[in-house]
């Protein structure tokens, strides 16, 4: 049954993504809420290994993540290499975790909105190397559409949280159950989540959201604006 459910959820993602690229799903209102703007090259020069890069992607399930968590953020990656002119970002994405360039990563963000969070204490050289190693040990892992913190898969906020924790010992974001998450916002579309979980929401399941990482007291923000 778990295999069938996972397959059906993949099919649902594919159909919803098709709707997005066909123009039948629109970006969440209010995501373009900042006027600060820099070029991608300018942003690249500000980044350090270990920085978290927050963006807003538009496939429908992730719009629901935004509305449920009452945040413009619904995807996050971590900087793992700044040696070149286009920094390397590690991320958990569908279908498998991978690395990509900063320019490609932020191109996916609605209206070019980007926020960069950084631990208050600068990373040592050993910690920066550990960020790379921790991310590489998690490459090629399937994306967990069930957003289960204890599954064999990965999802974006879990991925960067675990990489940063393994490399630096700092845990960002709040672990919470689906019950806490889904009942904290009275406007949550429970119908969508019931459909997503095939009729039964796993209320006791633990997860961590991009929004909880964004609001972590352990991060300071070195950029929050738009890129061009």
Of the listed ranges 30-34, 37-41, 131-135, 222-226, the one predicted with least confidence: 30-34
User: For residues 71 and 55, is the Cβ–Cβ distance under 8 A?
Assistant: no
Read off the pLDDT band of 175 (50, 70, 90).
very high
Average of pLDDT values for 12-30? 39
CATH number of the domain to which 185 belongs? 3.90.1720.10
In whole numbers, what is the pLDDT of the chain averaged over residues? 88
Encoding tokens for residue 86? 């286009």
Taking 50 as the threshold, does the pLDDT of residue 67 lie above it?
yes
Taking 70 as the threshold, does the pLDDT of residue 24 lie above it?
no
Q: Can you give the residue range of the structural domain that contains 54?
A: 2-227
Q: Which residues, 6+ apart, have CB-to-CB distance to 13 below 8 Å?
A: 59, 61, 94, 145
- How many domains are there within the chain? 1
The model's pTM: 0.86
């Amino acid at each position: 049954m778990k295999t069938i459910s996972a397959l059906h959820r993949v099919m649902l993602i594919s159909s919803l993504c098709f709707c997005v690229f066909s123009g039948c799903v629109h970006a969440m209102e209010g995501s373009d809420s900042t006027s600060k703007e820099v070029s991608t090259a300018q942003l690249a020069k500000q980044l350090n290994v270990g920085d978290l890069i927050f963006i807003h992607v538009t496939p429908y399930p992730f719009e629901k993540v935004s509305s449920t968590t009452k945040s413009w953020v619904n995807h996050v990656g971590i900087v793992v290499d700044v040696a070149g002119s286009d920094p390397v970002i590690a991320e958990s994405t569908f279908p498998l975790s991978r690395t990509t360039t900063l320019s490609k990563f932020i191109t996916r963000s609605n209206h070019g909105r980007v926020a960069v969070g950084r631990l208050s204490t600068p990373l040592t050289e050993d910690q920066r190397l550990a960020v790379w190693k921790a991310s590489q040990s998690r490459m090629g892992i399937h994306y967990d559409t069930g957003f289960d913190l204890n599954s064999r898969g990965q999802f974006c906020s879990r991925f960067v949280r675990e990489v940063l924790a393994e490399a630096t010992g700092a845990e960002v974001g709040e672990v919470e159950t689906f019950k806490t998450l889904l009942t904290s916002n009275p406007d949550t579309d429970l119908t969508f989540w019931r459909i997503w979980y095939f009729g039964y929401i796993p209320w006791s399941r633990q997860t961590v959201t991009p929004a909880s990482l964004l609001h972590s007291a352990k991060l300071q923000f070195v950029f929050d604006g738009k890129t061009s």
